[in-house]
Amino acid sequence: MLNLYVVTHPEATHHLEDRVGGWYDSELTPAGLVHAGLIADALTQRVNDGGAVSVFTSDLTRTTQTAAAIGQRLGREPVSMSELREKSYGEGEGQPDAWFRQRFVPPPATGERMDHDEGLAGAETKLEWVRRVYRGMDQIMSRPALTTIVVTHGGSASAVIAHWLRIPSDALAYASFRVETGSITHLREDDYFHNRTLVELNDTTHLRRA
């Protein structure tokens, strides 16, 4: 069977500062670093495929720090990919949350949602964001290991999960998978029917050991 573990980075400095994340290159907080170790421990307990493990990560600092802890435990060098970054919010990145909310234009309930202009200069549309993550996942799944670990962000995790489930990118106008910081989501493809299953979504029980 093929297994995919989607990991979201734990607490980062922009969370405590109430700043917009996106491509803003924040770092893990001291608590986040502890949680990264707990995530690594939890994955080490779950992964028993010997050498058939690959680790991929967004290239932003908060995710590479998380992936480094995982790679150290598993003896694997994480592969950094810009395609796995969070959505770009352009001029909004790193800005105070209150500044952002005054300017952000949310998508409409009906009508064009994927290519909607959110009112922030330089920001990606949802369509551009999802297509970018899908391109990254295409690269990752072109050389699948028995176990693949993808370290990404809360928003981009939805696109990673949807790609694994073979949901077309244009179907994500409304679909979203709610995951918290420091979470592990487990997906699996069986080797008989080749069905792809969402085994576990947003597991954070490992963080309670902190």
CATH architecture of 2-209: 3-Layer(aba) Sandwich (3.40)
- Name the active-site residue from 9, 14, 163, 206: 9
Give pLDDT tens digits along the chain (210 positions).
899 999 999 999 999 999 999 999 999 999 999 999 999 999 999 997 556 899 999 999 999 999 999 999 999 999 999 999 999 999 999 999 999 999 999 999 999 999 999 999 999 999 999 999 999 999 999 988 899 999 999 999 999 999 999 999 989 999 999 999 999 999 999 999 999 999 999 999 999 976
Q: Which amino acid is at 30?
A: P
Q: Which of 11, 83, 86, 93 is catalytic?
A: 86
Q: What's the rounded Cα separation, in Å, for the pair 58 and 129?
A: 13
What is d(CA 163, CA 1) in angstroms, rounded to the nearest whole number? 17
Between CA 99 and CA 32 the distance in angstroms is 25
Is 62 known to sit in a ligand binding site?
yes
pLDDT of 171-192, one tens digit each? 999 999 999 999 999 999 999 9
Q: How many CB atoms lie within 10 A of CB 142?
A: 7
Q: Is 126 annotated as a binding residue?
A: no
CA-to-CA separations, 50 to 46, 76, 109, in angstroms, rounded: 11, 11, 47
Annotation-wise, does 87 bind a ligand?
yes
- State pTM to two decimals: 0.96
What is the tens place of the pLDDT at every residue in 123-156? 999 999 999 999 999 999 998 889 999 999 999 9
Active site (annotated) includes residue 153: no
Instruction: Please answer whether residues 27 and 14 qualify as being in contact, where contact means their C-beta atoms are separated by less than 8 angstroms.
Output: no
- Domain locations along the chain: 2-209
The answer to whether 9 is a known catalytic residue is yes
